[in-house]
Structure 1
Amino acid sequence: MPARRRGVSIEDVARAAGVSRQTVSNALRAPHRLRAETLERVTALIEEMGYQPDQSASSLRSGTRRVLAYTTPETDPANPNALMSGFLEALVSAAGAAGYRILLVRPRPGQEAVPALEEVIAARTADAFLLSDVVEGDARVRFLSEVGFPFAVFGRTEPDLPQSWVDVDSVQAMIDLVGMLAGQGHRRVAFLGMSADLPWLRHRTEGFRTGVRRFSLVAHEATADGPEEVIDVARTLLERRPRPSALLLVDDWLAPGAYAAAQAEGLTVGVDLAITGFNDMPYAQLLQPPLSSVRLPLRRLADALVSRLLQLIEEQVQPEAGLLLPAEPVIRASVPQGFERS
């Protein structure tokens, strides 16, 4: 990385890039306004020249704190959620590129979610909220909508609420997985879900069912939660006759139990049985054989969410519709490449 030089002004960057001062400002604070090639060129020059905007002066002029409050979900320190850790890293990077910092917010033990938001608003420590793990009837979304405080959601809000959300198109991702398996000749498939009534799990289940209908497959479904239950339920699915040749999992978390069930049934994953997961957690590549999964576009999600928050904060523009981003299927050896129709 080149050494940062002192005394570089926004005018210097604009002159070197052949753009206006406002274009450089937009690259830092409203990247959604610029064409991709312009943003890439100006951002590269900002880094190369070592330009550092005066955040204190900017905050005084705009009346903003240049802080985005993120209501981080709870996780076990001994077993952290790698997916949300990756999202947080992408979020910090996206916010930093726009000149904002991330404030992590979580209710105190015994405190409800809404009072924690009220404290942040009352203290004037953030310009907007970013919410994740949103469920139907989410009190945080209702509260922020009622008080008119800027927010965006990783997930989806209900139709009568502001559509300031960005989400993964889990339905289409699961349809694509089913279609890929059907194209390889699989005609009997099984789906292992979880009983929790969470939007993202419902979307994946919906995608599986839609794919089964679209490709005229024979399918069986079941749900499981605890580790031992996963093995027992997966074995029940694999004991059906005729046996399914592919098992789709609603989440990678189920994969170790599904692999154990296959082994108990005398099946070799990636040879006798195809298995796919969802989320592409780091351990997916450590399973033997490595698990095929669906990777969430965490950086694109973070960039899109920050862009929407900037529209709300700096332009007072409320998005009229939510944004669905495609997920990326990652096919590994748990899906046999030479499968023959049975």
Structure 2
Amino acid sequence: MDVARAAGVSRQTVSNAINAPHKLRADTLERVSTLIKEMGYRADQSARSLRSGTRQVIAYITPETDPANPNALMSGFLEAMVAAAGDAGYRILLVRPRPGQSEAQALEDIIAARTADAFLLSDVVDDDRRVDYLTEADFPFAVFGRTRPGAPQAWVDVDSVQAMIDMVGLLASHGHRQVAFLGTSAELPWLRHRAAGFRSGKRRFGMVGPEAYVDGPDEVVAVARGLLDRLPRPSALVLDDDWLAPGAYAAAQAEGLTVGVDVAVTGFNDMPYTRLLQPPLTTVRLPLRRIADALVNRLLQAIEEGVPPEAGLLLAGEPVLRPSVPSVR
């Protein structure tokens, strides 16, 4: 092979650069990849599939979303996954059950047709049936989120507990002692982790304050005003999700308070609109590309080596500091 001769490496090294870059040292991968681009080499994917018995396809069970109000966070996650999979020579196949079909049946169809080599799952909840089905089928998968003890630990997640502890610590460093938590009442694992992190941070930094939860957007302003009406008044509102921020800002205004001056507000997820709020919102960004890279590495390990991960992986959230957190005057 011309690329192998030019790079002074074996054919297998060139193959790894295309099909399994995670197996190569960074300097070797960079040298071989540069030559591949310069020489215009393209791998024969059909021959590769015949040799390996794989399709180089990862099936992603996409969560449902409203086309008129799409989930920007999951769109970003999908973009990161497509890029990470592409770097490893894999493609992402989007899958959703047909009308009247269960998720388990959709999984079964993909497995039976050998359409994909592995599954990617997100929005995993407690006792998730998709995890149970793929575990029983002994089919490779990885999870953005967490699986319960006893299930395969092929997961990658954000350390939401520590991210919230750090956010409370940021407020403490600005002199805040009276803090309130406004959360979403849905019983979802990642929301529980954020609430637990708030409580841990409050204890660690000697802070006090109430918690309140909402079922939907219509309640946010009223519930946030109820928190800000308390005596002593909280000097900070900690939100478990950015979608609560516009309502929290409106509640502060209704109480005659200015966010970033009289009261601090923090969020979680760094949605695109948070930088457009006045003042822009301090929040936590999810490291989507690092999450995607870690998930792809775990999937490749399961697909190509048949070795499932022994433990899940927690990645740190990224604090995004903006003017919504003032110092206590």
| TM-score when normalising by structure 2 | 0.96
Superposed displacement of residue 66, structure 1: 1.0
Residue 333 to residue 42, structure 1, CA distance change in 2 (3 Å)? farther
Superposed displacement of residue 26, structure 1: 2.5
Q: Which residue of 2 aligns with 1:320?
A: 310
Q: Which residue of 2 aligns with 1:296?
A: 286
Q: Which of 90, 102, 108 does residue 118 from structure 1 map onto?
A: 108
1:29 pairs with 2:43: no
Residue 221 to residue 39, structure 1, CA distance change in 2 (3 Å)? farther
User: What is the alpha-carbon distance in structure 1 between the residues aligned to residue 278 and residue 5 of structure 2?
Assistant: 55
Does the Cα contact within 8 Å between 1:31 and 1:307 map onto a contact in 2? no
Q: Which residue of 1 aligns with 2:296?
A: 306
What root-mean-square deviation, in Å, do the aligned CA atoms of Structure 1 and Structure 2 show?
A: 1.5
Superposed displacement of residue 41, structure 1: 4.5
Q: Which of 177, 185, 197 does residue 207 from structure 1 map onto?
A: 197
Q: Which residue of 1 aligns with 2:78?
A: 88
Residue 145 to residue 272, structure 1, CA distance change in 2 (3 Å)? same
User: What is the alpha-carbon distance in structure 2 between the residues aligned to residue 188 and residue 15 of structure 1?
Assistant: 67
Counterpart code for 1:304: A
Q: Which of 198, 203, 221 does residue 231 from structure 1 map onto?
A: 221
Q: Which residue of 2 aligns with 1:217?
A: 207
Counterpart code for 2:163: A
1:168 pairs with 2:158: yes
> Equivalences for 1:184-203 in 2 at 5 Å?
184-203=174-193
Residue 50 to residue 229, structure 1, CA distance change in 2 (3 Å)? same
Q: Which of 125, 149, 160 does residue 139 from structure 2 map onto?
A: 149
Q: Which residue of 2 aligns with 1:55?
A: 45
Q: Which residue of 2 aligns with 1:7?
A: none
Q: Unmatched 5+ residue regions in structure 2?
A: none
Superposed displacement of residue 95, structure 1: 1.0
1:340 pairs with 2:324: no
When structure 1 is superposed on structure 2, of 46-55 and 129-138 the one drifting more is 46-55
Counterpart code for 1:298: L
Deviations 1:27-55 (A, max 9, x none): 33323323444444544444444332111
Does the Cα contact within 8 Å between 1:152 and 1:308 map onto a contact in 2? yes
Deviations 1:69-107 (A, max 9, x none): 000100111111111011111111111111111111111
> Equivalences for 1:63-74 in 2 at 5 Å?
63-74=53-64
| TM-score when normalising by structure 1 | 0.92
1:330 pairs with 2:320: yes
Give the secondary structure class of the aligned counterpart of 2:210: strand
User: What is the alpha-carbon distance in structure 2 between the residues aligned to residue 183 and residue 340 of structure 1?
Assistant: 10
Q: Which residue of 2 aligns with 1:5?
A: none
Does the Cα contact within 8 Å between 2:61 and 2:121 map onto a contact in 1? yes
Deviations 1:269-320 (A, max 9, x none): 0111111110000111111111111111111111111111111111111110
Superposed displacement of residue 123, structure 1: 1.0
Counterpart code for 1:89: E
User: What is the alpha-carbon distance in structure 2 between the residues aligned to residue 308 and residue 80 of structure 1?
Assistant: 28
Identical amino acids, percent of aligned pairs: 77
User: What is the alpha-carbon distance in structure 2 between the residues aligned to residue 40 and residue 168 of structure 1?
Assistant: 29
Counterpart code for 1:251: D
Give the secondary structure class of the aligned counterpart of 2:212: strand
Aligned length: 329
Q: Which of 128, 133, 139 does residue 123 from structure 2 map onto?
A: 133
Residue 50 to residue 211, structure 1, CA distance change in 2 (3 Å)? farther
Give the secondary structure class of the aligned counterpart of 2:211: strand
Does the Cα contact within 8 Å between 2:235 and 2:328 map onto a contact in 1? no
Give the secondary structure class of the aligned counterpart of 1:218: coil
User: What is the alpha-carbon distance in structure 2 between the residues aligned to residue 73 and residue 189 of structure 1?
Assistant: 34
User: What is the alpha-carbon distance in structure 2 between the residues aligned to residue 99 and residue 52 of structure 1?
Assistant: 11
